[in-house]
Amino acid sequence: MCGIVGYTGTNQAAPILLDGLGKLEYRGYDSAGIAIRNGEELAEVVKSTGKLRSLIEKTDSGRTLAGTCGIGHTRWATHGEPSQTNAHPHVSGNCSGSGSGQVESEVVGVHNGIIENYLELKEKLLRHGYQFYSDTDTEVVVKLIDYYYKKYKIGPVDAINRTLVRVRGTYALALMFRDYPGEIYAARKDAPMIIGITNGESYLASDVPALLNYTRNVYYIDNMQIARLLPGEVHFFDLNGDEVSLESTEITWDAKSAEKNGFEHFMIKEIYEQPDAVRDTLTSLIVDGRISLKDTGLDEDVLKSVSSFRIVACGSAWHVGMAAQYILEDMTGVPVRVELASEYRYRKILPQERELLIVISQSGETADSLAALRKAKDLGVRTLAVVNVVGSTIAREADHVLYTHAGPEIAVATTKAYSSQLIAMYCLAIQTAYDLGRIDDEKYAYYLSELNTIPEKIVRILEEKERIQWFAAKYSNARDIFYIGRGLDYAISLEGSLKAKEISYVHSEAYAAGELKHGTISLIEENVLVIGVLTQDDLFEKTVSNMVECKARGAYLMALTTYGNYNAEDSASFTVYVPKTDPHFMASLAVVPLQLLGYYIGVARGLDVDKPRNLAKSVTVE
Ligand code: G6P
């Protein structure tokens, strides 16, 4: 979704802002813009539609814009079509055209999120003589700040505060005021915003990768707080306008991990980073041969007392929940329910006593997952967040946090975060089972030793990528792909199918193999590709029967199974093998060929797999 950057310091701002926006491209966007202040002069606004490249060309990589203070934005359209006029920054001055150039304005701003009551506020402002050039809610909020600023003749912090209490919705805002050269003001509610400070320079961004080239010393601004950035310093204020102090945090991710490092796309680089992401997550959770959940605050008493687990998440994180359901229930005997966060948040919930609600989220900022977390907390339910981004909103608001160690994930389609989330859920299941006395020391040690083999087994799978690449090229024009499996294999199918459809735009579905006969089999015809996921030996024959039924109706069959199950080739025309591990952990291995398949189909179709159309990495609006 929208990306925000800001800079004030001693260097030319525009190249720094364009670099930062480049690091946020992965979030998904349709237009971009920057506003630069050169000393006391009015802000110069430049915007363009399409890729950031056109903004870079328009400004000669920022060189045409003098000034050491500025804000920038990549827009993912919500209110109003993608266009230059609707692109940010927006200005408070009444103007015709697209609000570009040097517009006579008190306030210039960029925004991520949605202002729900913008129409009502717009009417009020129209009555007070404001004119609007765009269809955006952002222009409304910028003009509302201007209105309070002038009406009450107050400073920026008070004008923003008055506005925050009038607007409903979610937002991160970065603003510059004409009377305050060299200063940037920022505020947020339920949308990410971080601030980095170094010697004489201050940076602002909606996401960590934009800052990694400049600083590791960051502040996470809280909801309904305001930040005032000056070169090399920052001050924070609460809703009363009183100054508050915040602690800074050191980011451990290194800048290289957010670069492609010679890979063609971030997605394939991140697929290759999975052995490390899995190993790092394991290392963080297994200390001296025991799982340590100490940092999460989930001790033996808490785990033993859990009456039921409820997992809520979106997208691939929900698929992790689907896989975890089979594992947690099987190992612990405690009931598990998995829900889409967008569904959970709007229905009547009857929480169980001593229920543990687990929110799984890479970004820790997904709007629906955050809303679900807050709802659970309002209901008095204990909450655990499984999150990758340190300091993200979900991580800060949950009662307990279990961090995955995937490093920065840039490609929209998740791979290494998914794999790390699985590891976190395995460890939770094993430890709970042990604390409940459902497994003995021997079984416990066996599970941990199996987990430790996963990174090396992923390496082996990656060594055979050429076969999948070949197969993907052959099937890149497939009209439909069906992924089928039972039990855990169904959960793996869900993720495999999403990987294909989100980056290659080939229609794909995942079905519980036993459901095929209840409708889906009518879609099976000549040359439809059916992929049978066969990692669970006890369900192998059942799923193979379903595959054969598809073959009888003309489908082309691919099987994904473990070494040793060579009779899969009796039915399937193409078989992919992965090493064996304990059946509970097979998703960690079987997902890798499916990630590669989705990736290579997308590449064979000539698509930009890192930035699939209409999708965003972090969905911060519902
Ligand atoms: C988007 C991403 C997915 C991700 C989902 C949930 O749709 O493209 O890869 O699984 O959001 O994101 P989260 O950050 O909450 O894991």
Q: Ligand 1 centroid vs 425 CA: distance in angstroms?
A: 17
The per-residue pLDDT for range 525-575, each reduced to its tens digit, is 888 999 999 999 999 999 999 999 999 888 999 999 999 999 999 999 999
Half-sphere exposure (Cβ direction) of 454: Cα atoms closer than 13 Å: 33
Can you give the pLDDT at residue 611?
82
What's the average model confidence in pLDDT over 196-210?
92
**Over the chain, what is the mean pLDDT?**
93
Q: Ligand 1 centroid vs 417 CA: distance in angstroms?
A: 9
Can you give the pLDDT at residue 604?
93
Do 124 and 180 touch, CB atoms closer than 8 A? no
Please choose from 312, 316, 369 the residue to mutate so as to test ligand 1's pocket, defined by most ligand atoms within 8 A of CB. 316
Q: What angle do CA 151, 154, 160 make, to 5 degrees?
A: 90
Can you give the pLDDT at residue 80?
76
Is residue 362 within 6 Å of ligand 1 at its C-beta? yes
Can you give the pLDDT at residue 88?
92
Can you give the pLDDT at residue 77?
80
Highest mean pLDDT among 265-269, 285-289, 427-431, 476-480: 427-431
The per-residue pLDDT for range 427-485, each reduced to its tens digit, is 999 999 999 999 999 999 999 999 999 999 999 999 999 999 999 998 888 889 999 99
Name the residue with the closest Cα to ligand 1, atom 4: 315
Is residue 412 within 6 Å of ligand 1 at its C-beta? yes
The per-residue pLDDT for range 564-593, each reduced to its tens digit, is 999 999 999 999 999 999 999 999 999 999
Helix (H, G, I), strand (E, B) or coil at 378: helix
Is residue 598 within 6 Å of ligand 1 at its C-beta? no
How many beta carbons lie within 10 A of that of residue 25, not counting itself?
A: 19
Is residue 319 within 6 Å of ligand 1 at its C-beta? no
Of 2, 69, 314, 550, the catalytic one is 2
Please choose from 393, 619, 620 the residue to mutate so as to test ligand 1's pocket, defined by most ligand atoms within 8 A of CB. 619
Do 577 and 563 touch, CB atoms closer than 8 A? yes
Do 393 and 402 touch, CB atoms closer than 8 A? no
30 has pLDDT over 90: no
DSSP β-bridge partners for residue 336: 309
What's the average model confidence in pLDDT over 311-337?
98
Can you give the pLDDT at residue 285?
95
Looking at per-residue pLDDT, the higher value among 330 and 410 belongs to: 330
Residue 89, preceding peptide bond in cis (omega within 30° of 0): yes
What's the average model confidence in pLDDT over 342-359?
94
258 has pLDDT over 80: no
List Cα–Cα distances, 270 to 26, 58, 216, 498, in angstroms: 13, 32, 22, 17
Is residue 503 within 6 Å of ligand 1 at its C-beta? no
Name the residue with the closest Cα to ligand 1, atom 1: 617
Rounded to whole angstroms, how far apart are CA atoms 617 and 267?
12
Lowest mean pLDDT: which of 45-49, 188-192, 467-471?
188-192
Is residue 267 within 6 Å of ligand 1 at its C-beta? no
DSSP β-bridge partners for residue 357: 310, 383
Can you give the pLDDT at residue 522?
83
2: annotated active-site residue: yes
Helix (H, G, I), strand (E, B) or coil at 578: strand
Nearest atom of ligand 1 to the alpha carbon of 616: 8
pLDDT band at 132 (very low <50, low <70, confident <90, very high): very high
Nearest atom of ligand 1 to the alpha carbon of 615: 8
114 has pLDDT over 90: no
Q: Ligand 1 centroid vs 63 CA: distance in angstroms?
A: 36
Residue 477's identity, in one-letter code, is: N
Is residue 192 within 6 Å of ligand 1 at its C-beta? no
Q: Ligand 1 centroid vs 244 CA: distance in angstroms?
A: 33
Looking at per-residue pLDDT, the higher value among 622 and 128 belongs to: 128
What values do phi and psi take at 606, rounded to 5?
A: 75, 30
